Amino acid sequence: MLDVDLKDFLDEKYLQYNTPDFILSDPIQIPHRFSRKGDIEISAFLAASIAWGNRKMIIRNAGNIIRIMGGQPYDFLMNVSNTDLEELPYFVHRTFNREDLIFFFKSLRNIYKNHGGLEAVFSKYPDDIYKSLKYFREVFFSIDYPERTGRHVSNVVKKSAAKRLNMFLMWMVRNDSRGVHFGIWKKISSKFLYLPLDVHTGNVGRKLGLLNRKQNDWKAVVEITANLRKFDTNDPVKYDFALFGLGVFEKF
């Protein structure tokens, strides 16, 4: 497929899947329950953090997390005590369990009380997302944490594709007025984002000649995003809609 034909094809699929209907079957529906910035970004981060496996299970369990927080994520974090956290009910999502969730709450509380919130941390290096992801992980684990919980936040230094973190950033930063992504973070430009590479987008990318690397690691993320930038320099990750839609809904 010629580049011009591939661009037209991806643009068509982007428009096809980037509609409010997409929200109904995607974990992004969790932050769409809220209108306040803090509630949106906290619920989005938590939903993205458990976004692996069956999508219905992800949505159900992310909803359970919000219920544990009394339906008010920001207020919950600002007021919850360590004693309260130790009394939280049972929770599990695949390998992510109650112990992990308690630490996530503690770390997010620390980020909002002592580091200016998630946007401030991720915006430390607004034109270098690799450095931002590295810095975020350092801040996230700057308080005592269970060793097992370290596996639940991607480490780009160890070449992780960081799919869930890149997806969270895409949700917060992209603003195309089509109703799916939020665009509430203004310090980072969409042109610096990286594709949230997963099995589906990776497989479709290889079939379309956008990705040669076999592993879904950070080098693969850099490669496929660089190729997507040829089609839209200012918003390359908009094509996540196309690649994901082709992989999940069309079994391309």
The SS3 assignment for 227 reads helix
Domain regions of the chain by residue span:
3-248
The SS3 assignment for 173 reads helix
23-69 residue pLDDT tens: 999 999 999 999 999 999 999 999 999 999 999 999 999 999 999 99
pTM: 0.97
- The residue type of 147 is E
Cβ-based neighbour number of residue 183 at 10 Å: 14
Cβ-based neighbour number of residue 251 at 10 Å: 8
- Mind listing the pLDDT tens digit of every residue in the chain (252 residues)? 668 899 999 999 999 999 999 999 999 999 999 999 999 999 999 999 999 999 999 999 999 999 999 999 999 999 999 999 999 999 999 999 999 999 999 999 999 999 999 999 999 999 999 999 999 999 999 999 999 999 999 999 999 999 999 999 999 999 999 999 999 999 999 999 999 999 999 999 999 999 999 999 999 999 999 999 999 999 999 999 999 999 999 988
133 to each of 1, 41, 122, 198, 245, how far by Cα in Å?
A: 34, 16, 7, 17, 26
